Structure 1
Amino acid sequence: MQQMNNLRRIDLNLLVILDALLSEQHVTRAAERLHLSQPAVSHALARLRNLLGDPLLVRAGAGLVQTPRALELVVPLAAALAQVQALLAPNAFDPATTQRTFRLAMSDYGAAIVLPGLIRTLRREAPGIDLQISHGSRESMLEGVLNGDIDVAAGVFPEMPHELRSTHLFEEHYACLVDRNSLPADGGLDLPTYLARPHVLLEMRGSGTPEIERALTALRERRRVAVSLPHWSVAPELISGTDLILTVASRGLRDIDQSSLVVVPPPFHIPSFTFVLAWHKRRGGDQALNWLNRRIGEGIER
Structure 2
Amino acid sequence: MTIDHVDLARVDLNLLVALDALLTERSVTRAAARIGIGQSAMSSSLGRLRGLFDDELLTRSPEGMRPTPRAMALAGPVRAALRQVQALVRRDDAFDPATVERVFTLAMPDSIEVLLGPRLLAFLRETAPGVRLLLRSVDRDRILPDLDADRVDLGLGLFPDGQAHHKRRLLYREHYLCMFNAALVGLEPPISLDDYLRFPHVLTSLKETAHGVVDDALALIGRRRTLAVTTPRFLAVPFLVRSAPVLTTMHARLATSFAAALGLAVSPAPVALDEVAISMLWHASYDDDPAHRWLRRTLVRLAAEPDDDPLALGAPG
- 1:106-145 map, 5 Å: 106-145=108-147
Asked if 2 retains the 8 angstrom alpha-carbon contact of 1:202 and 1:209, the reply is no
Structure 2 CA distance, aligned partners of 1:115 and 1:186? 32
Equivalent residue, structure 1, for 2:22: 18
Contact 2:103 2:131 in 1 (8 A): yes
How far did 1:7 drift? Answer: 1.0
Cα distance in 2, alignment partners of residues 16 and 31 from structure 1: 11
1:135/1:259 CA distance change after superposition, 3 Å: closer
Q: Deviations over 1:54-78 (max 9, x none)?
A: 4725241xx3241415434432333
Moved more, 265-274 or 133-142: 133-142
Q: CA deviation at 1:226?
A: 3.1
> Does the 8 Å CA contact 2:177/2:251 hold for their aligned counterparts?
yes
Cα distance, 1:16 vs structure 2: 5.4
- Count residues with an aligned counterpart: 292
Counterpart in the other structure of 1:241: 243
1:21 Cα offset (Å): 0.7
Instruction: Using the TM superposition, name which of 123-132 and 202-211 deviates more.
Output: 202-211
SS of equivalent residue, structure 1 residue 101? strand
Question: 2:274 aligned with 1:277, yes or no?
Answer: no
**1:291 paired residue number:** 294
Are residues 51 and 272 of structure 1, via their aligned partners in 2, closer, same or farther at CA, if it must alter by over 3 Å? same
In structure 2, relative to structure 1, the CA distance for the partners of 1:221 and 1:26 (3 Å cut) is: farther
Instruction: Evaluate the alpha carbon distance shift between residue 291 and residue 266 of structure 1 in structure 2; reply closer, same or farther with a 3 A threshold.
Output: same
- 1:137-182 CA-partner distances (Å, limit 9, x unpaired): 4353245345644332222347465544433322212122223333
Amino acid of the structure 1 residue aligned with 2:279: V
Instruction: Give the SS at the match of 1:233.
Output: helix
Q: CA deviation at 1:95?
A: 0.9
Q: Do 1:95 and 1:126's aligned partners in 2 also have CA atoms closer than 8 Å?
A: yes
Instruction: Map 1:19-98 onto structure 2 (within 5 A).
Output: 19-22=23-26, 34=34, 42-43=39-40, 45-53=42-50, 54=56, 56=58, 58-60=60-62, 63-68=63-68, 70-89=71-90, 90-98=92-100
Cα distance in 2 for residues equivalent to 1:216 and 1:47: 60
Matched, 1:196 2:198: yes
Partner of 1:7: 12
Query: Equivalent residue for 1:174?
Result: 176
| Contact in 2 for aligned 1:82/1:283 (Cα 8 Å) | yes
Return the letter of the residue paired with 1:50.
G
SS at match of 2:234: coil
- Does the 8 A contact of 2:204 with 2:230 survive in 1? yes
- TM-superposed deviation, 1:185: 5.0
Give me the whole-angstrom Cα distance separating, in 2, the residues matched to 1:214 and 1:66: 38
CA distance in 2, matches of 1:51, 1:192: 69
Q: Cα distance, 1:277 vs. partner? A: 2.0
| Partner secondary structure for residue 205 of structure 1 | coil
Deviation of 1:297 after TM superposition, in Å, equals 2.0
> CA offsets per residue over residues 187-226 of structure 1, 9 Å max, x none?
5532122223222211112899854333223322222233
Which amino acid is the alignment partner of residue 88 of structure 1?
Answer: V
